[in-house]
């Protein structure tokens, strides 16, 4: 994966320090979400959605409450990721 700073999503969420972070690529988002999922006690859909809220709050708001919102349903994660990829 290219040269990019590690996105410490867990710390940002835990501390409430959700500040504007530099633009990240879709690939960087997926890596950060996977790492956040491995290191935290959340379902996969929650972890990927919470990471999206940090790195692309605009996109997470488009998805929130729709039929591709994976926060409450892990089965929707592939659709959510496909949508994010297209919109990134």
pLDDT for 32-50, tens place per residue?
999 999 999 999 999 999 9
- Which domain, by its residues, includes 43? 9-16+23-87
Closest-CA residue to 1 (of 29, 22, 37): 29
> Is residue 56 in some structural domain?
yes
Look at residue 2 and tell me if it is in a domain. Answer: no
Q: Is residue 53 part of a domain?
A: yes
pLDDT at residue 24 in the model: 85
CA distance 56 to 51: 8
Structure tokens at 24: 């990240």
User: Is there a domain that residue 55 lies in?
Assistant: yes
Number of domains in the chain: 1
How far apart (Å, rounded) are the C-alpha atoms in residues 3 and 72? 33
**Position 4 in a domain:** no
Q: Which whole number is the average pLDDT over 52-62?
A: 93
In a domain, 79, yes or no: yes
């Amino acid at each position: 994966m290219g040269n990019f700073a590690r996105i410490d999503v867990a710390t940002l969420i835990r501390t409430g320090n959700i500040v504007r972070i530099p633009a990240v690529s879709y690939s960087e988002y997926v890596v950060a979400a996977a790492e956040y999922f491995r290191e935290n006690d959340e379902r996969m859909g929650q972890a990927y959605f919470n990471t999206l809220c940090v790195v692309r709050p605009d996109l997470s708001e488009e998805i929130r409450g729709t039929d591709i919102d994976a926060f409450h349903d892990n089965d929707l994660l592939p659709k959510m990721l496909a949508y994010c990829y297209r919109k990134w």
